Amino acid sequence: RAARRRAGLRGRRAAARAGAADVGEADFEAEVLQADKPVLVKYWATWCGPCRLAAITCDQIAKEYGETLKVVSVETDPNPELVERYGVYGLPTFIVFKDGEVVEGSKKEGMLSKEKMLEYLESCGVAGMAA
């Protein structure tokens, strides 16, 4: 029974990793700024409760819209340079990048439901997001 439970946990963890990819200061340029499609960046911290909920939504969107949108997560504590560079003051914070640039007006703080996240992405010029 315990072995099955552990196997189930490993499977769920692998499925979660298949969603939003973790990026940091070392690979931010390659993964975000040089991406060939729009990128949703979620800034989060381990101690942030709403960030855990945002992770679920972001993973769902990454799985469902992965062909047109890349979704990545930046943990704030080990990446202070990215936090400062993009003015992240509250968590979770979402920023959309397109063609290596921040989409004007795309920085948004606070938890969003999946429906609101899709509306937000559509308002940032990421086509095909509205339900």
DSSP 1: -
Among candidate residues 129, 22, 38, 33, the one with its CA nearest the CA of residue 86: 33
Catalytic residue among 48, 62, 83, 117: 48
Which of the two residues, 2 and 64, has the higher pLDDT score? 64
Catalytic residue among 39, 51, 62, 71: 51
DSSP 64: H
On the CB side of 3, CA atoms within 13 Å amount to 0
- Specify whether the CB–CB gap between 42 and 20 falls below 8 A: yes
Beta bridge partners of 40: 71, 96
Specify the pLDDT at position 14.
Answer: 42
pTM comes to 0.84
38-69 per-position pLDDT tens digit = 999 999 999 999 999 999 999 999 999 999 99
Query: For residue 116, what is the enclosing H or E element?
Result: helix 114-123
**Cα pseudo-dihedral 12, 128, 73, 10, rounded to 10:** 10
Please return the burial class of 61, using the count of CB atoms within 10 Å of its CB with bins 0-12, 13-18 and 19+.
buried
80-97 per-position pLDDT tens digit = 999 999 999 999 999 999
pLDDT above 90: residue 127: no
Active site annotation includes 48: yes
